[in-house]
């Protein structure tokens, strides 16, 4: 892409994001977001519309400035680039990954990750300042400990089994499994977890080479959490945001469907390091009573 185009894409996204949250309009979200970010945005529109019918004209505008653009040279589609920005929401860096599926489609934001300034990686660049995208072809990447397109499947498998050495211990890996164990069986309900990986066809996993020989990768996964009540008890939904997403009848069980979008640091193959989560955002997209 033309470097001069990147600031315009970021401005279009920010303006569309603010318009969507003022009007609570899914159509605006669809124009500026795709992938997991759009799924989370659509659910937000539903929940906030239930809380503030008619829109939210006093929504505080999001400001993304001090932008640093990391643009890889790419042949074919889809294409992507990264905007590393400062936000008026906090003191972190907001990483927005923009994807474009074809020449006929606009750039849309597919991933948002929030990183503390000390976690921002240095990217490998050529003499002209362009970054290097990790090829999106399926299979292993000999330079990396794990191929970006394999991270989603490896992650959902780890959440299911707890086995393997792909991921470093932390709150989004071993910690999440520990949290789940606490609610698998309780005196009032038990919980089943189903984690579904996502592949490049519907949810590309864009990745950029880092200066240390590794990569910064972004990926999507879907998660279902089904809670079944003990005999004689019925599930209850008290959170008004969850009520807005509810369908079906709350008789014996309730299933929460969630989408997660993550930014991870993949180490080079020659190292003994593991994949580390830099950020993970998860949102509930549907709630179904049965």
Structurally, how many domains does the chain consist of?
1
User: Which of 256, 277, 198 is closest to 43 using CA atoms?
Assistant: 256
Phi then psi for residue 167, to 5 deg, are: -110, 145
Closest CA to 86 of 108, 109, 61, 117: 117
Contact by Cβ (8 Å): 87, 105 = no
pLDDT of residue 61: 97
184's enclosing H/E stretch is helix 174-184
Strand pairing class (276-289; 246-248): parallel
- Answer whether 206's CB lies under 8 Å from 223's CB: no
Would you write out the chain's pLDDT as a tens digit for each of its 290 residues?
A: 788 999 999 999 999 999 999 999 999 999 999 999 999 999 999 999 999 998 999 999 999 999 999 999 988 888 999 999 999 999 999 999 999 999 999 999 999 999 999 999 999 999 999 999 998 655 567 899 999 999 999 999 999 999 999 999 999 999 999 999 999 999 999 999 999 999 888 899 999 999 999 999 999 999 999 999 999 999 999 999 999 999 999 999 999 999 999 999 999 999 989 999 999 999 999 999 99
Give the residue numbers spanning the domain of 198. 5-289
pTM metric for this prediction: 0.95
Q: Which of helix, strand or coil describes residue 236? A: coil
Give me the pLDDT at residue 139, please.
57
Report yes or no: 56 and 88 within 8 Å, Cβ to Cβ: no
From residue 76, how far is each of 17, 21, 62, 140, 230 by CA, in Å? Answer: 28, 33, 33, 20, 53
Number of helices followed by number of strands (H, E) in the chain: 6, 10
pLDDT on residue 141? 77
pLDDT at residue 136, as a whole number: 67
137 CB-near residues (< 8 Å, 6+ apart): none
Alpha-carbon dihedral 207, 277, 114, 134, rounded to 10 degrees:
0
pLDDT value for 43? 97
């Amino acid at each position: 892409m033309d470097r001069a185009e990147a600031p315009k894409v970021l401005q279009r996204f920010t303006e569309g994001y603010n318009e969507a949250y003022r009007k609570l309009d899914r159509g605006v979200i669809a124009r500026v977001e795709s992938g997991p970010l759009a799924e989370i945005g659509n659910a937000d529109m539903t929940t906030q519309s239930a809380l503030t019918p008619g829109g939210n004209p006093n929504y505080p505008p999001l400001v993304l400035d001090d932008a640093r653009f990391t643009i890889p040279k790419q042949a074919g589609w889809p294409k992507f680039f990264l905007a590393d920005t400062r936000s008026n929401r906090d003191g972190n860096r907001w990483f927005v990954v923009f994807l474009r599926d074809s020449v006929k489609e606009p750039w849309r934001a597919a991933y948002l990750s929030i990183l503390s300034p000390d976690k921002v990686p240095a990217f490998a660049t050529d003499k002209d300042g362009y970054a290097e995208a990790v090829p999106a072809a399926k299979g292993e990447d000999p330079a990396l400990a794990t191929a970006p397109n394999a991270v989603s499947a490896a992650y959902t498998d780890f959440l299911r089994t707890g086995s393997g050495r792909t991921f470093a211990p932390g709150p989004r890996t071993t910690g999440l499994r520990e949290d789940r164990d606490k609610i698998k069986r309780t005196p009032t309900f038990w919980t089943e977890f189903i984690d579904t990986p996502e592949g490049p066809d519907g949810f590309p996993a864009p990745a950029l080479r880092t200066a240390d020989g590794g990569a910064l990768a972004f990926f999507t996964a879907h998660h279902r959490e089904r809670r079944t009540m003990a005999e004689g008890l019925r599930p209850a939904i008290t959170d008004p945001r969850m009520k807005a997403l509810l369908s079906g009848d709350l008789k014996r069980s309730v299933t929460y469907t969630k989408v997660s979008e993550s930014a991870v640091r993949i180490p080079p193959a020659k190292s003994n390091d593991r994949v580390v989560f830099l950020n993970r955002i998860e949102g509930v997209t549907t709630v179904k009573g049965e």
